[in-house]
Amino acid sequence: MGKLMKELDNSVKEIGFVEAHRKIMSSIGKDKFIINGKDERLKEILKNKPTVVINNHPFYGEIFAGIAALEPRSDIYLIGTAEYLGIGPNISKHIDPIYMTKQMTAEKQKLVVKLGHGLHIDPHFSSEEAHQKNIKSIEKAAEQVKRNGLVIIMPEGIRAEKTTTWSNGIGYLLTEIGKGTNATLINSYVDGVNEYDLLRLAPGIKNLFNPITVTFSDPESIEDILDKNSDPKAITRGLKENYDEWVQSLKNKPLFRPT
**Segments making up each domain of the chain, as ranges:** 2-251
> In terms of pTM, does the model score above 0.75?
yes
Topology (CATH) of 2-251 = Glycerol-3-phosphate (1)-acyltransferase (3.40.1130)
- Write the DSSP symbol of residue 126: -
**For residue 114, pLDDT beyond 80:** no
Amino acid occupying residue 173: L
- Measure the CA–CA gap between 244 and 104, rounded to whole angstroms: 27
CA angle 112, 175, 247 (to 5 degrees): 65
Residue 132 pLDDT grade (very low, low, confident, very high; cuts 50, 70, 90): very high
Output DSSP code: residue 207. Answer: G
Q: How confident is the model at residue 206 (pLDDT cuts 50, 70, 90)?
A: confident
Tell the burial category of 74 from Cβ atoms under 10 Å away from its Cβ (0-12, 13-18, 19+): exposed
First to last CA, the chain: 31
**Kind and range of the H or E run holding 192:** none
- Could you tell me which residues come within 8 angstroms of residue 40 by beta carbon, excluding any fewer than 6 positions away? none
Q: How far apart are CA 188 and CA 214, in angstroms?
A: 7
- Angle between helix 232-251 and 169-177 (nearest 10): 110
Q: How confident is the model at residue 255 (pLDDT cuts 50, 70, 90)?
A: low
Burial 181-205 (b: 16+ CB within 10 A, else e): bebbbbbbbbbbbeeebeebeeeee
Strands 124-125 and 100-101: parallel
Q: Identify the band that residue 30 occupies on the pLDDT scale cut at 50, 70 and 90.
A: confident
Spatial separation of the C-alpha atoms in residues 27 and 254, rounded to whole Å:
27
pLDDT band at 101 (very low <50, low <70, confident <90, very high): low
